[in-house]
């Protein structure tokens, strides 16, 4: 029996395995030589199953535009096509953008790489959220300075006025100063957020339990808050207070959203996500903290701008989700969401970094 094997170094394979794009190598006879980890995950198969088999063993022959691919490869050495529908013989159907080219290793191989279109859409959504949050931060910082400058003037005027009025009237100037100081602290906490909290090794369930117990204290009688934890999750380096504040915000929002229903259920869920991408970066492991509710959902007209400041479907400032997003991005993570009536999901994604990595924080449903 002939064994088909790509004679590349472990380093080459490790580099390919870090890609979020699925990569497959075929030899000149159309046999599988190598799949990177993203390809194994996308196809729900393994190198061991496919290496040495012809592509038609696993891919429906009419799914891959093979004649067009080979013709373009012969003409210009490169092939690219978007929106290719792959039908696999294990029942999976994928919509992907593909490109192919010949690569020279110890012999000539056909390298086909494709990116799942759903993955591309998610990646673009993550990038849009990150960019949106950067704009929000700049807007909020400008707003903070516009607020703090006149507040300083008010405080100074109150201090001067205190020297001119009687002792009985100083009660009013003290009240003015007290309120100015309170507003300054509020602006610092909610708008400037210049300080980054220190990260320490943390068990995520310590945070979820704190949020769960706090929210149980004033939980409406018709709302049920339940836990669905993966107890095997590892510790990760995060700022616990920042993640607590963000998660508390999400759970309280869910409670508010469900408060007018005769019966509602909110689930606090944790999972691990293997080789998961946040934005343009793929991590070996991420932790998922998800808040699921069966409330009315986020209004469609607000969904594209829900993390912007002053955007809210409730009678509030609309600052909460923007701040929560900022706090999670300080942990190298991201908050994603999807919403429709009776099913709203807010996901906190936190990368887990190994001890050899300089910073940072990683699904398995």
Low-confidence residues in the chain, pLDDT < 50:
1-5, 8, 315-318, 356-365
DSSP 109-169: EEEEEEEEHHHHHHHHHHHHHHHHHHHHHHHHHHHHHHHHHHHHHHHHHHHHHHTTS-TTT
pLDDT at 356: 39
pTM: 0.59
Whether residue 342 contacts residue 263, with contact meaning beta carbons closer than 8 Å, is answered with no
Q: What's the pLDDT score for residue 342?
A: 92
Give pLDDT, residue 360.
42
For residue 222, give the H/E element and its range.
Answer: none
Report the C-alpha gap between 161 and 278 in whole angstroms: 54
What integer pLDDT is reported at residue 223 of this predicted model?
A: 95
Structure tokens at 165: 């009025």
The phi, psi pair for 268, rounded to 5°, reads -105, 110
Helix axes 240-258, 320-329, angle to 10 degrees: 150
Rounded CA gap, 118 and 81, in Å? 16
Nearest to 192 by CA among 252, 136, 247: 136
* The two domains 10-118 and 200-351 share their CATH topology (first three levels equal): no
Residue-range domain boundaries for the chain: 10-118, 121-192, 200-351
The CATH fold of domain 200-351: Heat Shock Protein 90 (3.30.565)
Q: What is the DSSP string of 239-290?
A: -HHHHHHHHHHHHHHHHHHHTTSSSEEEEEEEEEEEEEEETTEEEEEEEEEE
Which are the contacts of 116, defined by CB distance < 8 A and separation ≥ 6? 22, 42, 94, 95, 96
Model pLDDT, residue 295: 92
CATH of region 10-118: 3.30.450.20
Residue 157 confidence (pLDDT): 87
Q: Tell me which residue of 304, 346, 336, 325 sits closest to 140, measured CA to CA.
A: 325
Report the 10 Å Cβ neighbour count for 72.
Answer: 16
Task: Give the pLDDT confidence of 110-138 residue by residue, as tens digits.
Answer: 888 877 655 555 566 666 666 666 666 66
Q: Encode pLDDT of 167-187 as tens digits.
A: 878 888 888 888 888 777 766
Check residue 274 and give its pLDDT: 85
Q: Supply the pLDDT for residue 252.
A: 92
The CA distance from 99 to 72, in Å, is: 11
User: Phi and psi of 263, rounded to 5°?
Assistant: -155, 135
Task: Report pLDDT for 111.
Answer: 87
Residue pointed to by tokens 């709302």: 223
- The position carrying tokens 């509710």 is 293
């Amino acid at each position: 029996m002939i064994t088909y094997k790509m004679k590349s170094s472990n380093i080459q394979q490790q580099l390919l395995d870090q890609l979020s794009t699925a990569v497959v190598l075929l030899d000149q006879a159309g046999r599988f030589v190598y799949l990177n980890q993203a390809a194994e995950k996308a196809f729900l198969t393994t190198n061991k199953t496919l290496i040495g088999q012809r592509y038609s063993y696993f891919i429906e022959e009419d799914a891959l535009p093979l004649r067009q691919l080979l013709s373009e490869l012969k003409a210009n050495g490169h092939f690219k096509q978007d929106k290719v529908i792959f039908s696999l013989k294990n029942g999976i159907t994928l919509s992907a953008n593909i490109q192919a080219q010949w690569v020279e290793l110890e012999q000539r191989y056909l390298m086909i790489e494709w990116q799942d279109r759903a993955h591309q859409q998610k990646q673009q959504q993550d990038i849009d959220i990150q960019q949106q949050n950067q704009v929000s931060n700049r807007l909020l910082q400008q707003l903070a300075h516009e607020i703090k400058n006149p507040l300083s003037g008010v405080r100074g005027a109150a201090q001067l006025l205190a020297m001119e009025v009687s002792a009985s009237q100083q009660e009013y100037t003290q009240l003015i100063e007290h309120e100015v100081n309170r507003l300054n602290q509020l602006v610092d906490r909610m708008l400037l957020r210049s300080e980054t909290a220190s990260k320490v090794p943390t068990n995520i369930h310590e945070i979820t339990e704190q949020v769960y117990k706090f929210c149980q204290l004033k939980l409406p009688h018709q709302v049920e808050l339940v836990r669905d934890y993966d107890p095997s999750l590892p510790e990760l380096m995060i700022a616990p207070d920042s993640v607590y504040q963000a998660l508390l915000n999400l759970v309280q929002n869910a409670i508010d959203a469900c408060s007018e229903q005769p019966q509602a259920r909110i689930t606090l869920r944790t999972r691990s996500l293997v080789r998961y991408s946040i934005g343009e970066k793929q991590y070996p492991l991420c932790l998922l903290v998800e808040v699921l509710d069966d409330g009315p959902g986020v209004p469609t007209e607000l969904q594209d701008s829900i993390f912007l400041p002053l955007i809210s479907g409730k009678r509030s400032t609309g600052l909460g989700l923007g701040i929560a997003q900022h706090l999670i991005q300080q942990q190298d993570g991201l908050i994603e969401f999807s919403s429709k009536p009776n099913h709203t999901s807010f996901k906190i994604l936190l990368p887990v970094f190994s001890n050899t990595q300089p910073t940072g924080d990683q699904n398995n449903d």
